[in-house]
Amino acid sequence: MGQGGEPRRVQAYDGELGAAVARAQEGDESAFAVAYRLVQPGLLGYLRGLVGEDAEDVASDAWLEIARDLGRFRGDGAGFRGWTATIARHRALDHLRRLKVRPRSAALEQDMLDLPGPYSTHDQALESLSTEYALQLVRGLPRDQAEAVLLRVVVGLDGPAAARVLGKRPGAVRTAAYRGLKRLAHELGGGRVTDDGPRTLGEST
């Protein structure tokens, strides 16, 4: 994935975020609001990729748990983003289970991964991921690729942190993110995508 994979703007917030979390753990409610403001946009984007239009509700549940367990958190700003993403992921998977939606297999035929033709740059795919259209495309990826892309790009986690959230080896997450971004770049560049309406990662395509 070239250098890093997490947007510089997210990294720039980590110092401010770490300081806000430390103050919030001491009981400063305004500091918790700062932490929320810094983390929520990426967390919501990640959840939109997992549960679609139910993201706001799942995020609310996640933040209740985050607030309740804040005193147990140990780490810096980047660590807090990873911790909150882990909590949000558990809430999202619980939500999908309640809907009796079985997450589809992460396996994908190799010939589907090696799509033919020229690819746009990964950077172009990254730049476009803030749009709702791009999140719809992400939801069409195999689950392992979609989650890796969302955690690396939307939440802004580095490879090892994303791997911890997913319970996988960093190399596997790096490969999944690379393949997902390659596929997104191809679709964003070629316009070869049909919109079958909103999906969640738990639904088959």
Rounded Cα gap, residues 142 and 110, in angstroms: 12
Q: What is the DSSP code string of the chain? A: --S-SS-HHHHHHHHHHHHHHHHHHTT-HHHHHHHHHHHHHHHHHHHHHHHGGGHHHHHHHHHHHHHHHGGG--S-HHHHHHHHHHHHHHHHHHHHHHTTPPPPPS---HHHHS--S----HHHHHHHTTSHHHHHHHHTS-HHHHHHHIIIIII---HHHHHHHHTS-HHHHHHHHHHHHHHHHHHHHH------S---TTS--
Reference 98, options 200, 204, 17, 205; nearest CA is 200
The pLDDT tens digits of the residues spanning 93-107 come to 999 888 865 544 333
The pLDDT tens digits of the residues spanning 24-68 come to 999 999 999 999 999 999 999 999 988 888 999 999 999 999 999
| Burial status of residue 199 (CB atoms within 10 A of its CB: 0-12, 13-18, 19 or more) | middle
The mean pLDDT of 108-133, rounded to a whole number, is: 44
Give the contacts of 109 (CB within 8 A, at least 6 positions apart): none
pLDDT at residue 112 in the model: 28
What pTM did the predictor assign?
0.71
Poorest-pLDDT segment among 46-55, 64-73, 131-140: 131-140
Provide the 10 A C-beta neighbour count for residue 90.
15
pLDDT at residue 12 in the model: 60
Rounded Cα gap, residues 89 and 146, in angstroms: 13
Provide the 10 A C-beta neighbour count for residue 73.
16
pLDDT at residue 118 in the model: 35
Which position has the higher pLDDT, 118 or 25? 25
| Burial status of residue 189 (CB atoms within 10 A of its CB: 0-12, 13-18, 19 or more) | middle
